[in-house]
A and B are shown apart, each in its own frame.
Chain A
Amino acid sequence: MDCISVREEDFVVQEEYDQLCQYPGESGAVVCFSGLVRELGVTDQTIAMEIEHYPGMTEKSLKAIIGQARQRWPLSQVRMIHRVGRLKTGDQIVFVGVSSQHRDAAFDACRFLMDYLKTEAPFWKKEITAEGDIWVEANEKDTTAREKWQVD
């Protein structure tokens, strides 16, 4: 039922949403999130972004993250997509979609999945700029966001 995809190809949010809704009666709430490549990154001259990953471990870690979400909330379906390779400003990078009976679980689980993905899934971004390539540094804010979930 869950969909985990790590690939270069783009995704279409409508198609993912349609998949999340495919079991009528099981989903009163559907929450979708998509992350895009921002204009301003490490420098304000980002030409492109390259995303590297650890093949095998990426899928495994996303599966583990979804497993944790399912332990905390009653969920119907989860779909997570993360693109790798070369992307440009405005391109879609990541999609997280969750369906559940009620909205509390859908909203919270979607946020949880993103907060964990940003601190645990083995992807690394490199900004390609006119002045050279720069690896993006991990953000403390992401660690803090993920730690909030550990209070429970």
Chain B
Amino acid sequence: MKILFFAALRETLGESVELEVSLPLTVSELRQALAETLPEQAPLFEPARTLSAVNQTICQGATLINTGDEVAFFPPVTGG
């Protein structure tokens, strides 16, 4: 599945990454999969540092990701 990145995370990892995972899986499981695939960047995927959104809504670790869902990770927001 494709995962989108924004802001500082995008500068480090690129706009998106393709990951082989079996769906459905939780956001927590996806964070773990990303940390395992990109071990040098593992700290970036910790919930304290990076927020997650599924289908453009901020979500927590237990949220389930299904086929066709849009998933994004990004730093805490700084708009306004």
Q: Do A and B bind each other?
A: yes
Q: Mark B46-80, 1 if CB is under 8 A from A, else 0.
A: 00000001001110000000000000101111111
> A interface, by DSSP: helix, strand, loop or mixed?
mixed
Q: Mark A88-128, 1 if CB is under 8 A from B, else 0.
A: 00000110000000000000000000100111111111100
Cβ contact within 8 Å between B79 and A56? no
User: Which residues of B lie under 8 Å from residue A57 when comparing CB positions?
Assistant: 53, 56-57, 72
Q: Please, how many residues of chain A have a CB less than 8 angstroms from a CB on the other chain? A: 30
Does residue B7 face the partner (Cβ distance < 8 Å to A)?
yes
Cβ contact within 8 Å between B80 and A60? no
Does residue B8 face the partner (Cβ distance < 8 Å to A)?
yes
Cβ contact within 8 Å between A54 and B56? yes
Known: A56-B56, A60-B56. Is A121-B77 also a contact (CB below 8 A)?
A: yes
Cβ contact within 8 Å between A122 and B80? no
Output the nearest chain B residue to A137 by Cβ-Cβ distance: B78
How far does the alpha carbon of A6 sit from the alpha carbon of B53 in the complex, in Å?
19
Cβ contact within 8 Å between A120 and B8? no
User: Which residues of A lie under 8 Å from residue B75 when comparing CB positions?
Assistant: 124, 135, 138
How far does the alpha carbon of A94 sit from the alpha carbon of B80 in the complex, in Å?
6
- The B23-63 residues at the A interface (CB cut-off 8 A) are 53, 56-58
Cβ contact within 8 Å between B79 and A51? yes
How far does the alpha carbon of A118 sit from the alpha carbon of B76 in the complex, in Å?
10
Q: How far is the CB of A127 from chain B (nearest CB, A)?
A: 10
How far does the alpha carbon of A11 sit from the alpha carbon of B35 in the complex, in Å?
42
User: Which residues of A lie under 8 Å from residue B78 when comparing CB positions?
Assistant: 118, 123-125, 135-139
Cβ contact within 8 Å between A135 and B77? no
Output the nearest chain A residue to B6 by Cβ-Cβ distance: A54
How far does the alpha carbon of A69 sit from the alpha carbon of B57 in the complex, in Å?
18
Does residue A35 face the partner (Cβ distance < 8 Å to B)?
yes
- Identify the 8 closest CB pairs spanning chains A and B, nearest first: A123-B79, A138-B76, A124-B7, A57-B56, A118-B80, A135-B8, A136-B78, A125-B78
